[in-house]
A and B are shown apart, each in its own frame.
Chain A
Amino acid sequence: QQPVQSPQAVILREGEDAVINCSSSKALYSVHWYRQKHGEAPVFLMILLKGGEQKGHEKISASFNEKKQQSSLYLTASQLSYSGTYFCGTAGGGTYKYIFGTGTRLKVLA
């Protein structure tokens, strides 16, 4: 079943912070976050592994709550370049079937 992201959409001013959540009904072993610009393919941002390890950007961080089956992406001091649609992705439940969350549209205004 597809992970559910919240909020569906968010509008920010430059310099503001945002949190995007990804919730799954199945156990999560690892979660990836991607950003997709209009007309382009998704681009990998970071990975969250079971046990809390994360790899990613400077001003973009994430957390992974295995018990709640949820991951959150934190964008601090947002820039215009952060605009796009964010997706969480996972091969949940120990399978190779890799699926994406419902997506969150983020727009940063000057």
Chain B
Amino acid sequence: NAGVTQTPKFRILKIGQSMTLQCTQDMNHNYMYWYRQDPGMGLKLIYYSVGAGITDKGEVPNGYNVSRSTTEDFPLRLELAAPSQTSVYFCASRARQGNTGELFFGEGSRLTVL
């Protein structure tokens, strides 16, 4: 049981490049989330999903896209990378326990845009 797995762990991008951060969970959780955390700051919700085929915007969605074709996978796409997207990205999932389940996190993906 691996939990939540994110890849890559580290990546350097040039301005204007695009990339996809991968996230997979093997706990059969319905809810999945993407957060970004800038240095010394808190966690900001980018996008979330309540099940396959259903996604919605969070607090800071601009510059990102997501898809959820299966229960297990929730990739985050960065289009036209900008220095402001330099951050640590966390994927998380939780069970549907009456909407009270806690989050399980991946280890994070550290992205630098130069």
CB <8 Å contact, B42 and A103: yes
> Which B residues are closer than 8 A to A by beta carbons?
31, 33, 35, 41-43, 45, 48, 50, 56, 58-59, 90, 92, 94, 99-100, 102-108
B108 closest partner in A (C-beta):
A41
What is the distance, in angstroms, from B21's C-beta to the closest C-beta of chain A?
14
25 contacts between A and B (CB under 8 A): A2-B42, A2-B59, A29-B99, A40-B108, A41-B90, A41-B108, A42-B43, A43-B105, A44-B103, A47-B102, A87-B43, A89-B103, A96-B48, A96-B50, A96-B99, A97-B48, A97-B56, A97-B58, A98-B94, A99-B58, A99-B59, A100-B35, A100-B45, A101-B42, A103-B41
Residues in B whose Cβ lies below 8 Å from that of A2: 42, 59
Contacts A41-B108, A42-B105, A97-B58 known; 6 new A-B pairs at CB < 8 A: A30-B100, A32-B103, A87-B43, A97-B45, A97-B48, A100-B35
Residues in B whose Cβ lies below 8 Å from that of A42: 43, 90, 103, 105
Contact of A49 with B by CB under 8 A: yes
A-B contact count (CB 8 A): 60
Contact of A61 with B by CB under 8 A: no
Taking residues whose C-beta sits less than 8 angstroms from the other chain, chain A's interface range is: 20 to 34
Residues in A whose Cβ lies below 8 Å from that of B103: 32, 34, 42, 44, 89, 98
Contact of A102 with B by CB under 8 A: yes
What is the distance, in angstroms, from A110's C-beta to the closest C-beta of chain B?
24
CB <8 Å contact, A49 and B100: yes
